[in-house]
Structure 1
């Protein structure tokens, strides 16, 4: 018998586990969190949040403890003070998680989830390129990012038509400039 995943609320939860950086960013102190609490904050299924939390424990990014009261058991997840001195994650991890969360919420065209994921990956790579360079022209995005992240587009122009309006909505991005072709990364 196949058991259905647990649901929170009356809504159908999204069908995939959230990225590890996004889940890790929900921990802003050494205070413990539960899979249910993380799932509610990220609006994902509890089982998907639990899977990502377990992967973070396996990677040594989080620690966990089973809390038992009679027949009731609960797993608490928390930042390791050894891995995260001061009880918080580094700003770069938090910034990347904010970008990934924003990208995940954007409407992305595609006939399949895989195509949509490729397009989200291309958008994230464009953001990374801008964050690394500081100032980037439309032409540089097409020359440097498009060849490795075509996302199913046959031409750089079609790819840029998809990417351009979405890039402007990401955290830390300012652009395009008055000339219409220069973008700037201004930080968090």
Structure 2
């Protein structure tokens, strides 16, 4: 992973966007590195790294607190300018997604494919993988000539977006959007 990568590997092996750490904090409410790590399911070292990156981007603030026994760091969200709608949060996550591609333009096309899939799901509120792929792939193939490879790229990224859930049974995978 590069220095600018906004993803971390969680305990279950899945990648975690930095924005998911950010979303654990209510505006103005501090959280410790340990609390954030536990909430997102990553190590404290990974949480600290993601929080530091969010501080650099201006999305998070850091403060050192001292007591007689110890000093510890708390992280908090600034009050100004933070959108809280699922769509606004999703846009921040999509912008930070690590996607494959040889050029930045190709990576942008692939983020656009994830965005288009998310928008389709938001409109439908519930759909199957088959319906989603048949509705989105042709207009947003993102350089993929094969639907299965395209879906392999979109699938895991769509699943990490706010308000998105999926259930799988013997017949199909059903995707749902809940604006919460």
Structure 2 Cα separation of the partners of residues 167 and 83 of structure 1 = 25
Larger Rg: 1
> Map of 1:1-188 to 2, 5 A cutoff?
13=11, 18-84=16-82, 89-95=84-90, 126-133=113-120, 134=123, 138-148=133-143, 155-159=145-149, 162=152, 171-172=163-164, 188=179
Conservation of the 8 A alpha-carbon contact between 2:27 and 2:78: no
Give 3-state SS (helix, strand or coil) of 1:145's partner.
coil
TM-score (norm 2): 0.55
Segments of 5+ residues of structure 1 without an aligned counterpart are 1-11, 100-113, 115-120, 150-154, 175-179
Q: CA RMSD in A?
A: 4.6
Alpha-carbon offset, residue 35 of structure 1:
0.8
The answer for the alignment partner of 1:111 in structure 2 is none
Alpha-carbon offset, residue 168 of structure 1:
9.4
Structure 2 Cα separation of the partners of residues 122 and 49 of structure 1 = 29
Residue-pair matches, total: 145
Segments of 5+ residues of structure 2 without an aligned counterpart are 1-9, 95-99, 101-107, 125-130, 167-171
Structure 1 Cα separation of the partners of residues 38 and 158 of structure 2 = 28
The answer for the alignment partner of 1:152 in structure 2 is none
Structure 1 Cα separation of the partners of residues 155 and 56 of structure 2 = 38
Structure 1 Cα separation of the partners of residues 143 and 22 of structure 2 = 28
